[in-house]
Amino acid sequence: MVVLQGKSVFRDICVGPLFFYRRSQKSVLRRPIVDKKSEIERYRHAREEAAAQLQRLYEETVTTAGSANASIFEIHKMMLDDAEYVNSVENMINAQGMNPEYAVYLTGQNFFRMFVSMEDDYMRQRAEDVKDISSRLIDILTGESLKNDELPREASIIVADDLMPSETVRIPGEKVLGFVMRKGSVNSHTAILARSMGIPALVEVGDGLLEEYDGLNAAVDGYGEKIYINPDGKTLSSIRERKQQSDRHRIALGELKGKDNVTLDGRRIRLFANIGSLEDADKAKANDAGGIGLLRSELLYLGRDSEPDEETQYEFYKAVLEKFEGHDVVIRTLDIGADKQVPYLGLEKEENPAMGLRAVRLCLRRPELLKTQLRALYRAGVYGRLNIMYPMITSESELIGLKEIQREVISGLESEGADFARQVPVGIMIETPAAAIISDRLAAHVDFFSVGTNDLTQYTLAMDRQNRELSGFMDTHHEAVLRLIETAARNAHRAGIWIGICGELAADETLTGSFISMGIDELSVAPSMILPIRRRIRELNLEKQDGK
């Protein structure tokens, strides 16, 4: 038996044969060309075919895994049309007489190295994407296609160094028991898809995962973050018992649907969901969320080649509000910047984008973006209990500027005789130390606070949360972070407004009791964490814990 350690992406257990995904070896050679013009045309036709394939992949992935996961293929379409990429390929054909396959190969290699060398984590992730689109173009140009023997014949644990997005969705879902990656990351497309599908997955397992293990029986333990290859009878029996316990636990959680979020000593808290798409909204309803505590509206802006117009946004917000009729829905305004970039906005490259022109700073600099969004929000607000939330607030002056834009939008809607919601609660995210420290003053301007613990932690500890090298130093339970949350909670209640937490710490069961004791009124978590946190709340006796 061989035991290897990795990092868990989704905590569950699976047992089955290993299937090593092998890419077909592409031998791209330079060859002389006769007619440069016809070769340019051949490349352009390949781009058109690639765009059509990506559109089909997008539509298939929306159906199987939701629009948030499918958006990667829209990003690929944008990269396919990137002017620098296209010019590089066509210049190599024209100026150097290269065949298109080799020009695409070289361009892909050059762009891959450029992206890998970038400091920004989001941009580094694009390295694999440019490799993916280049591989797709080469396949089309050479007439190669996926061979049947590259896919598993039975349900298997899929093993690879890492999988490109298009490779992940090529594998039929019914053939995937789990994913195990030698490299990869918890933020890779494969990892995101595994979480979405509820499939156990490990990344960063390392080179000990040898190809000679192909076909052997294995067990993936997402809880212990291990893979057991050719497990002995005792280990296999133990793993299967844990799997049965996990299944029983999941059934027991299902029985909590419809139950109150109240501690044994009678303290009640609202339990909401964080979402980014209509598919997420469906999952939130299925898991009995009491409302939406964070709708990440920026996902509407990602994976596109232009800003979503007012009608597009209006229809989306309306659909979410209708799904949660009678329940609060908190929609965060555009939070673009830092690790979420959109090329069509033409933002300049920043040395430290996490502290740069992002979120409300961008909206105050370019108010037309916010005005379009607010018009859509206020119009959609008639279909439910809309709450608007501004991210990355650091000062009262920012709130004053935002309220002036609000007044302009409302005045415009009134003059048009539009149907819109007139009484919409407005809140802010507490995700900077500045906002927490002056939360007593900010509370006078808003109806609620919601703590974004991800950014609050990184700014308080002065650590880039995208930097993997700092993962061992990033103490999410740091006393300074907890004190800032407690300060904001105290000031919110003094001002008579409610406060929630929508960052990752909201789903940390070891802190649930502490948050309730601080006076946190609402926790907003991933849909899959609603029932586990409900169970934790219902187990707590804070009077006994506090020694009362």
Distance CA 377, CA 1 (A): 57
Candidates 199, 231, 193, 242; CA nearest to 11 is 199
Say how many residues make up the chain. Answer: 548
Give the residue numbers annotated as catalytic, written as ranges: 189, 502
Ranges of H-type helices in 211-274: 233-254
Burial of 252 (0-12, 13-18, 19+ CB in 10 A): exposed
C-alpha distances in Å from residue 1, one per residue of 229, 240, 275, 528? 6, 16, 41, 33
Distance CA 229, CA 227 (A): 6
Q: Locate the DSSP E strands across 121-216.
A: 156-160, 176-181, 201-203
446's tokens: 């808003």
Distance CA 295, CA 319 (A): 12
Sheet holding 226-229, edge to edge: 2-5, 226-229, 217-221, 13-20, 156-160, 176-181, 201-203, 7-10
Sign of CA dihedral 286, 290, 291, 292: negative
Contacts of 52 (CB under 8 A, 6+ apart): none
